[in-house]
A and B are shown apart, each in its own frame.
Chain A
Amino acid sequence: MNFLVASLCMFFAGGLACLATTGRPHLTRWVGSSVALIGGALALVPTCMVLGGRVLTGLHLHWSMPFGSIALDMDALSAVFSTPILIIVMLAAVYGTEYLRPFEGKKNLAQSWFFYNLLAGSMLLVVVARNGMLFLLAWEIMSLASFFLVTFENEEESVREAGWIYLVATHIGTAFLLVLFVLLGRDNSTLDFSSFAASPGFAGIAFLLALVGFGTKAGFMPMHVWLPEAHPAAPSHVSAVMSGVMIKTGIYGLVRILTFLGSPPPWWGWLLVSVGAISGILGVLFALAQHDLKRLLAYHSVENMGIITMGLGIGLLGMSYQSPVVAFLGFAGSFLHVMNHALFKSLLFLSAGSVIHGSGTRDIDHMGGLLKRMPVTGLVFLLGSVAICGLPPLNGFVSEFMIYLGSLTSVAGNMRLPIAGIVAALVVAGSLALIGGLAVACFTKAFGIMFLGEARSTHAAHVHESGLAMRLPMAVLAAACIIIGVSGPFWMQLLGPAIAVATGVATDTQIYPTFAAHALWMMTLLAVAGIGLVGLLTFVRSRLLSARSVTREPTWDCGYASSTPRMQYTASSFAEPVTRMFNVFLRTRRRFSAPTTYFPTSSSFSTETRDLFHESLFRPAFTMTHRFLSRIHWLQHGRLNLYILSMIAALLVLLVWKLG
């Protein structure tokens, strides 16, 4: 626990130290990144201890804040969520030292590093806080710190707009959480988690409040609207932290609240499955329609949060129907996907940052042929793509496989659920399959159009590979993706205690499905054999070709003379068949000026896919609110004495009302 407190102090105090280095960019870089590294390393000690099976005693100090207390504890659930937070924070900090270098002297980097460390500390505090007041405080610091990080390039209009949307969205979420905590703690004079218990009639409302409040942070559809705005606006290492781990605090909060609410009725599981399926499918569809690389990745975060939520839903259904095996598999898949998504999504954002750093554009359609000039970035992006598509032998598959297993065991065999559970399980299996297929479409598009073929513009033709400080974190993350991919059983065992916390059973009575462990071992075997086979076949082919003519010619152009790089398939054309099929949701806007006359001079075509919920739900809602509120705009007249008068009047009215 001392390490934990030290780490929190390191993050907050070290963050302040960054501010002190304003004006000396070299020093800022060193201080900022080493604070993040030391803080992360300090907190990793208790995290690893808890994951290794040790039980730590919590810290409980008095705090003068009403209802507040400084209650910290690291249990297995916290450890599962804090591990990716710390690892990603550390790696992204290393990456940031180089990524931010072009801004040195132009922007106040001390501020950026200050908020970065503040964000890291607050995320850690969120997962270890055991008091509602402390939790909300950490939550708010987290939101504000990330807001300032998003608006790093605040001279651009689009960035300011993105920051504004993020700020509004996150506070709407916080409002729900405030109500939730007040309701949870209303019976006691304290907001300590240990005394939280939902009265029977109220558990459902608490669940819904938590779903909306935490779902806003986690990016569930339709509360996801801030993600595709904020992630592209932020610097890439910040996007990696936000998309990789910050949104996971929403999942953490939801799971934590669920532990207070007792045994869940089936409709909770159903609701989570539906929310997850909608987020997953619509997330990947919107991703497919994007040609801004970082927006695409942001929508994929929505998709993956959907997958995680479906796993949680299956877990809850398993709990409702008293099937511990289904519950275990659902939660195991969900938690492992939290870790995996943190790894590969950060990897993808970091390599996207590397591409943007090198080419200066975020538009996929302007890239092409980058693999030749950025071999490392290209390779790790490919690995990240395979992982996020949930393909074996990388880590994304292991967690999706567990969720699949959860849904399979609920539909067949002796652990079968009642019919409502079966329908939910089928929805999960079908959605996962559809999401998997569409994700393959999306990432073959992203990788294929960006890194393969020929350069489509001068941006892409003059890219350069990033430096070591950027390549190293990416390589570490890629290696982690491979390692988790082939060591599945180990991770399942590691997650056991956290699942016990989430499902509320004692660790020693937990049902550990050996068939799943066996399946994962067999998959490891298959993966190793497959990799061996790849090696063997490569060897055979090189032997076959060794004594023969191997020539390099232009691509076969099907008889067309002189094809140019601009004639290559683009990301938009690649995705068009799918986006057209789902145009009901996507509503892609096409602007097309056709070539006219026999010698056409110019023609153009462009597509834009705005967010459905942003355009048809939130924008009208906010416009209406604005219209309504502008009616009482006369109250804001700017005369201070009248403001004070109205305050006094209000106080008097309250006093009279209370006394009378």
Chain B
Amino acid sequence: MNTFFVSLLPVLLGLVLAPLLLGVIHRTKAVFAGRHGSPLLQAYSDLAKLLRKGAVYSRTTTWVFRAAPVIGLASVVSVMVLLPITGNSAPLSFVGDLIVFIYVLGLMRFFTVVAALDTGSSFEGMGASREVHFSALAEPAIVVGLVALASATGFLSLSGIFSAMSPTTWVVAGPALALVLAALFIVFLAENSRIPIDDPNTHLELTMIHEVMILDYSGPDLALVLYAAALKLWVLGALIVNVALSPLGLNGIRGVGLFVAGMLVLAVIVGCVESMMARSSFLKVPRLLVTAIALSGIAFMLIVRFTA
């Protein structure tokens, strides 16, 4: 039983550290803009403040609107149980858990979108429409990308894949793995509504995706939504960091330490991307996402060829 709790530690790590990533992203952007920026722990104080407030609900909304934040957070927390951390297996791992991983996040999205439509506002409808549009394209990209990794390592669970990825895997299929990494990064940006797909800091409802969908949330509900978004950033980022760190072949506590460092670096990279790029036109986002699908597909075929 004790070992089970030890294996839960990575989950706790994610639950605690996820909001920090937002702080790092903001700080990076502030440095680029020559500002001092908000404290690194700003996201934590925001969450604490929201949890202390009351709530305002729209008269149009139903129980669906209230269920969505709860289901969203529960989904993303369940997903964290499947997530390995560099060199350490996840608390729960089984064949095909990568599919479960993606589909449980799909459940979260389903309810976020439905809750946005529950308010009856056309702005939130607009955000919902864009969300389903882009995620429909992001989904094949991540599925094919993960299947490519499964094919490269011969394992069918996230823990198995990431523990089997070693320097040799990179020697055999390096270019293909780099493509998967690129595809995963695009999906990561899209699913977490970052620039160039969506701008989390814009002040015009017309141009937003995720932020506009949650426009009517307040108080503890908003806290749940924001926290779930931070966790989603963590879990999808963890996939990228796991792939990127695999050639070092670390495990144990050193793996965990390096993983956390990797997550922070990823946050800095996201900050850099956001500072250097403009948000792309919504009409062009699908091209970016199908590029991700193409990258995964190419990577898959190359891996099949390399490991034949």
Contact = CB atoms under 8 A, between A and B. Distances in A.
Direct A/B contact, Cβ within 8 angstroms: yes
Interface of A: 368-369, 371-372, 382, 385-386, 389-392, 397, 401, 404-405, 407-409, 411-414, 419, 422-423, 426, 429-434, 436-438, 440-441, 443-445, 447-449, 452-454, 515-516, 518-519, 522-523, 525-526, 529-531, 533-534, 537-538, 541, 544-545, 548-558, 563, 565, 567-569, 573-578, 581
Contact of B143 (A433, A441, A445, A522): A433
Given A392-B100, A429-B144, A568-B125, A552 B57 contact: yes
Contacts of A426: 144, 147, 297, 300-301
B147 A408 contact: yes
A530 B74 contact: yes
Contacts of B125: 448, 568-569, 573-574
A434 B140 contact: yes
Given A434-B140, A522-B92, 9 more contacts: A371-B64, A382-B114, A413-B154, A413-B156, A430-B144, A444-B132, A452-B62, A453-B117, A453-B118
A549 B220 CA distance: 12
A433 B59 contact: no
Interface of B: 51, 53-62, 64, 67, 70-71, 73-75, 77-78, 81-82, 92, 94-97, 99-100, 102-104, 106-107, 109-110, 113-114, 116-126, 128-130, 132-133, 135-140, 142-144, 147, 150-151, 153-156, 205, 215-216, 219-221, 224, 282, 286, 293, 297, 300-301, 304, 308
Contacts of B128: 444, 448, 569, 574
B94 A518 contact: yes
A404 B48 CA distance: 41
Contact of A452 (B120, B123, B293, B304): B120
Most chain A CB within a 10 A radius of its CB, from B117, B153, B301: B117
24 contacts: A386-B107, A404-B96, A413-B156, A419-B304, A422-B151, A433-B143, A433-B144, A437-B137, A441-B133, A441-B136, A444-B110, A444-B114, A444-B128, A452-B62, A518-B94, A525-B92, A526-B81, A529-B81, A534-B74, A537-B74, A544-B220, A549-B54, A563-B122, A573-B125
B143 A430 contact: yes
A437 B138 contact: yes
A554 B155 contact: no
Query: 8 closest pairs, A vs B, by CB?
Result: A569-B125, A448-B117, A437-B136, A453-B120, A548-B54, A441-B132, A433-B143, A437-B139
A246 B158 CA distance: 40
Contacts of A438: 136
A432 B139 CA distance: 10
A460 to B, nearest CB: 12
Contacts of A581: 133, 286
A440 B143 contact: no
Given A392-B107, A404-B96, A541-B70, A555 B78 contact: no
A287 B95 CA distance: 32
A434 B137 CA distance: 7
B106 A389 contact: yes
Contact of A548 (B53, B100, B308): B53
Contact of A567 (B58, B122, B156): B122
Contacts of B139: 433-434, 436-437
B178 to A, nearest CB: 19
B140 A454 contact: no
A390 B136 contact: no
Nearest to A540: B220
A335 to B, nearest CB: 18
B151 A533 contact: no
A448 B113 contact: yes
A392 B74 CA distance: 12
Contacts of A452: 62, 64, 114, 117-118, 120
A516 to B, nearest CB: 7
Nearest to B70: A537
Nearest to A456: B120
Contacts of B116: 448
Contacts of B109: 440
A438 B106 CA distance: 11
A422 B78 CA distance: 31
Given A371-B64, A411-B151, A412-B155, A519 B94 contact: yes
Contacts of B137: 434, 437
Nearest to A436: B139
Given A437-B138, A548-B53, A554-B59, A412 B221 contact: no
Given A386-B110, A401-B96, A549-B54, A578 B154 contact: no
A278 to B, nearest CB: 15
B55 A548 contact: yes
A576 to B, nearest CB: 7
Contact of A522 (B94, B136, B219, B282): B94
Nearest to A418: B308
B224 A541 contact: yes
Given A397-B103, A401-B100, A552-B59, A411 B147 contact: yes
Contacts of A549: 54-55
Contacts of A372: 62
A645 to B, nearest CB: 64
Contact of B70 (A432, A538, A557, A577): A538
Contacts of B95: 405, 408, 515-516, 518-519
B146 to A, nearest CB: 9
A554 B121 CA distance: 10
